[in-house]
Amino acid sequence: MKIIKMNPQGFCHGVIRAIKQIEEILDIDTYEKPLYMYGSLVHNKHVVKHFNDRGIINIDSINNINHGTIIITAHGLSKIKQQEMINKGLNIIDATCTEVKKTHEYIEQKINDGYDVIYYGKKNHAECMAVLENFPTVHLIEKKEDINNLIILSNKIFFTSQTTMSYFDLQEIIDELNKKYQNIERNTDICQATRRRQEAIMKDAPLCDLCLIVGDPTSNNTMKLKEVCEQKAKTKAILIENVDEIDNISLNDIQILGITSGASTPNRIVEEIITKIKSKYNVD
Ligand code: SF4
């Protein structure tokens, strides 16, 4: 068997920055305790557990929280929720990715300029929820078919997206929108990290018999890697969260195996998986 380790893969700059920020705070130890994380810092159980082990408590509501410090995750949080925290006298540490912040800034600016904003995202994802809470007039589309239900009469339309959607689906959605509306302004807010990981799959996956996508099923960018692999590169893909799962997958007939991982997957997990595969199979 030959293994193709795709490049780039694993932690993106936004995740690295968020982790570094939290590690520094934990090391300095001057924050007001307890230290809470509102949601998951990133959508990966290994990363979340690492911080839970260091004393950070995960919460998804501040109803029963009256003192301490709250970390806002890489996905961002709406201004309303942040204000509620401030009103309760809670301290905030903002680990929102700069790419996510940029999207909020673009939307705000365009709404102020009188545009109708169409946003391509996943309704229940933290990043999308923050956008919808900040800007309730935004028109959300989750898939191409949703375009049929859009009713926009203005001729000033701006299109943008959640940072971790499929770059290739986005192109199809833009084509479809252009058929319905004219002169749509847009900003492609799929972040570079997401886009480059998906492009690496498109390049390498067609060479492979099977691809392992290492990451968490709650991670949108990880699931999009699997989707791009199967639907666009037409190569079978298996999602794998940790090394133990290798025992449940038969790779006997695989000659070329591709491996990639989501932007929130620690490199250590990928290396453990490769080491285990090498111990079980004859790898060139
Ligand atoms: S995937 Fe993109 S938007 Fe999300 S944390 Fe990484 S760089 Fe930021």
**Catalytic residue of the set 127, 227, 241, 271:** 127
Ligand 1 pocket member 74 (CB < 6 A): yes
pLDDT for res 29: 85
pLDDT for res 211: 98
199 flagged as catalytic: no
Question: Which stretches in the chain have pLDDT values below 70?
Answer: none
pLDDT for res 42: 85
pLDDT for res 117: 98
User: How many whole angstroms from 222 Cα to the centroid of ligand 1?
Assistant: 12
User: How many whole angstroms from 74 Cα to the centroid of ligand 1?
Assistant: 7
**Ligand 1: which residue has its CA nearest to atom 8?**
14
8 Å CB contact between 188 and 162 = no
CA-to-CA dists, residue 101 to 20, 97, 130, 148, 191, angstroms: 18, 6, 11, 29, 11
Q: Which residues contact residue 99 at a Cβ distance below 8 angstroms, ignoring those fewer than 6 apart?
A: 14, 163, 189, 191, 192, 193
8 Å CB contact between 141 and 120 = yes
User: Letter for the amino acid at 231?
Assistant: Q
Q: Say if residue 136 is preceded by a cis peptide, omega within 30 of 0.
A: no
Integer-rounded Cα radius of gyration of the chain: 21
- Domains by residue range for the chain, with CATH: 2-11+192-280 (3.40.1010.20), 13-97 (3.40.50.11270), 99-186 (3.40.1010.20)
pLDDT for res 189: 75
pLDDT for res 241: 95
pLDDT for res 2: 98
**Ligand 1: which residue has its CA nearest to atom 2?**
191
pLDDT for res 53: 95
| Rounded CA separation 157/180 (Å) | 12
Ligand 1 pocket member 193 (CB < 6 A): yes
pLDDT for res 78: 97
pLDDT for res 99: 95
Measured CA angle at 220 (ends 219, 224), to 5 deg: 120
Q: Which residues contact residue 169 at a Cβ distance below 8 angstroms, ignoring those fewer than 6 apart?
A: 144, 227
pLDDT for res 50: 93
pLDDT for res 84: 97
pLDDT for res 30: 86
8 Å CB contact between 160 and 119 = yes
